[in-house]
Amino acid sequence: MRTFKIIVISALLIIAAAVLLIIIRGAMPTSVGPSDEEFADIYEENEHDLGDDQDLYSQQMKQLEGTVKVLGVSIYGEGTHRLEKDNTLVAILESTDEKVNLQDFIEKEVRVRGFVRDTIEGGQKIMDASYLEVLEESGVKRFSEVSYEFSFSYPGDWDLKKESDKVTFSRQVGDTTDNLMIVYQFKDVNQSLEQWLTDRDQNLSFDETQVKVGSVTGVRRVITNGDEKIVKTYVKEGKNAYEIRLVSQDEVIRNQYYSIVDFFQTTFVGSDEEPQMEPADTVDDSMKLEMTDDEEVMDQEDSMTKEEDTKKEDSMEEATQPEETVKADTTVESEQSFTELEPLSPEEVNQVMEKGFSSFEGRSLSFEYPKVWYFSYLGNGKYGFTDDVTYKANEEQIDESTSRILLIAGSVDVPCAYKQETTLESTRYTVCAREPGLDQISDRVAESIKK
């Protein structure tokens, strides 16, 4: 009888322990942090190639700008504040970092950086803010000078020192000047970025990852020297290579550095010297932007003007005043594509328009071009424009066959799927789309042409 009681009590204890274990496991979360699907969405707009050693700042974080407001009662089920820009909700905000108090930034225009995921309810994005910078109080400066072929925004309290091949950024703290970041510029680099980097940092130990630098892909190396870490980001466009080096160990400066790299822009400007006249087939197309020979273009324009005057075209007679612009009627030539290239889809064209346009100012002509495209002077009064994929697939060369859009001064000797014409100082300029569907891009380029 005694043995039977012991068996019953033991069985009851085992059952009770099993039930308790089930209850405890049911209360525990199955995972911590965002799901795999949510991580896949983070920073997807920059389409980074993620390796095993991921650079979290650049590859899984986003940066947004706007005004911080209290969230109030909402349907989102989480978050404490909201970020708005032009009275439009940008993202829901929260912060798990004890150093960041969102309440201190109410009604202030800020730049905020952090991980982004979907809200539980309401279909919005929520950011866990880890870094904020007040734009109107701290101020922002823009570095963009002709003698340096790069540009970016940086904090207003930074100082800079310019040298022939580099610019050093520093900050005054009391009586001490702390160097923060150095940007090196290397010209006439004929190798690919991968080949060029084989000769750099040879005797140093570093971790290397691919990152986005502005709109192109670059390489980041993190060099560890004792307790210090030096971050170097390399990028190459055309024949110019750049090294963006972080030397400060301050975490806030590190965040600002990653922000600068994200929005770093290269601007290619030609020499101030008068170049020699070259046949069209000898012009170097590997540069993203190339200055036009002023005398050559003027001679071309004069001959084109005489030819057009001989033909007595009405638009030439109307353009009689200097600086006057006469826009001719838009002409749709054909729905046929006049290149061997795969036409861009409407979605790809929309992405180009959303990325915006940059300005090019030559000696005798200026215009805007898509930020994510490349262009080159082809000779004979023609500029060729093409997309990033085509440019790289053709060994960073642009010619008429790889141009999706042409900007032509004078007579048009090629068929166009769509064209837009503008007359400036008695010279007709035609933006010729070589395939259907590029109307918006062509119109934007045509409207921006100035002398």
pLDDT of residue 307: 45
440 φ, ψ to 5°?
-60, -45
Q: Do 257 and 286 fall within a single domain?
A: no
Q: Which of 92, 109, 136 is the last residue of a domain?
A: 136
In the sheet that holds 265-266, the strands lie side by side as 140-145, 148-155, 265-266
Do the domain assignments include residue 295?
Answer: yes
Do the domain assignments include residue 213?
Answer: yes
CA distances for 251 relative to 132, 248, 257, angstroms: 12, 8, 10
Q: How many angstroms from the chain centroid is the CA of residue 34?
A: 26
Other residues' Cβ atoms within 10 Å of the Cβ of residue 133: 20
CATH at residue 92: 2.40.50
**DSSP strand pairing (88-94 vs 125-134):** parallel
In order, the DSSP letters of 201-242 are STTS-EEEEEEEETTEEEEEEEEEETTEEEEEEEEEETTEEE
**Each residue's pLDDT tens digit, 80-97:** 999 998 888 999 999 988
Q: Do 410 and 294 fall within a single domain?
A: yes
Mean residue pLDDT of the chain comes to 75
Judged against a pLDDT cut of 70, whether residue 267 lies above it is answered with no
Average pLDDT over residues 293-300: 43
CA distance 345 to 437: 8
pTM (two decimals): 0.36
Cα angle at 403 between 190 and 362, to 5 degrees?
70
Judged against a pLDDT cut of 70, whether residue 309 lies above it is answered with no
pLDDT of residue 166: 93
Q: Do 172 and 227 fall within a single domain?
A: yes
Q: How confident is the model at residue 182 (pLDDT cuts 50, 70, 90)?
A: very high
**Each residue's pLDDT tens digit, 38-95:** 434 444 443 333 333 334 333 356 888 888 998 888 788 889 999 998 888 999 999 9
pLDDT of residue 234: 95
Q: Do 73 and 148 fall within a single domain?
A: no
Window from 11-15, 152-156, 257-261 with minimum mean pLDDT: 11-15
Average pLDDT over residues 5-9: 73
CATH at residue 194: 3.40.1000.10
CA distance 242 to 149: 10
CA distance 430 to 420: 6
CA distance 69 to 151: 32
pLDDT of residue 22: 63
Q: Do 166 and 123 fall within a single domain?
A: no
- The amino acid occupying position 407 is L
As to burial, measured by CB atoms within 10 angstroms (0-12 exposed, 13-18 middle, 19+ buried), residue 122 is middle
Q: Which of 103, 136, 169 is the last residue of a domain?
A: 136
Q: Which of 369, 448, 353 is nearest to 406 (CA)?
A: 369
Q: Which of 136, 159, 190 is the last residue of a domain?
A: 136
Residue 311, domain extent = 280-448
Instruction: Show the tokens assigned to 54.
Output: 């991921």
Cα torsion angle, 226, 228, 233, 234, sign: negative
Q: Do 89 and 164 fall within a single domain?
A: no
Q: Do 92 and 190 fall within a single domain?
A: no
Q: Which residue has the tokens 């650079």?
A: 55
Do the domain assignments include residue 24?
Answer: no
Those residues whose C-beta lies under 8 Å from the C-beta of residue 443, and which sit 6 or more positions away, are: 330, 420, 431
Judged against a pLDDT cut of 60, whether residue 24 lies above it is answered with no
**What single DSSP character describes residue 106?**
B
Q: How many angstroms from the chain centroid is the CA of residue 255?
A: 17
Helices and strands (DSSP H and E) totals, the chain = 11, 23
